[in-house]
Chain A
């Protein structure tokens, strides 16, 4: 799982397995969410986004699920590859500040060959 401001959770998976990274967001009024991937030595890279009028959105090998009832967001990566090893952040548009996106602390995904 993942919570803003806490220690960095880790997830270790075998190459080829599916990965699920979780995020608990804070504001029930948030209406836009993003997942970013940050590899070592690089800045965060946009992966996929979702608006609150949807509960699922799919990209290439990635799926984001949104459960507004419990304020939970997840990122599913299919057939995880070594290149997927990185820190993954969720971010929510908290709507209480001008255009401010609140980022989670991140989850470190390690893919074992």
Chain B
């Protein structure tokens, strides 16, 4: 059974930092790209960042570029999101999601999501 479990959220002051983790199980983690998606209170879904499974390439939404860093530890089946220079508008529930795998079969993207971890940026 595929499971994704986020942790690391909490209350942080503007300008502060936080590191989120996502522990994965039930699939070959190293083979899959993984994404972070966030949802501000009462708002829609916003994609944040992706890290590929094959070569570890990373991409970011413009809203977080230069402040957030996505990484992964394939030996521990864990995805990370380092968030620096946090702002009030970064307040959201952050979800990790299983993304794509390179190959001819093209299985579904975003087929599994974690329950999310809440990040609140406030003084």
A-B complex is real: no
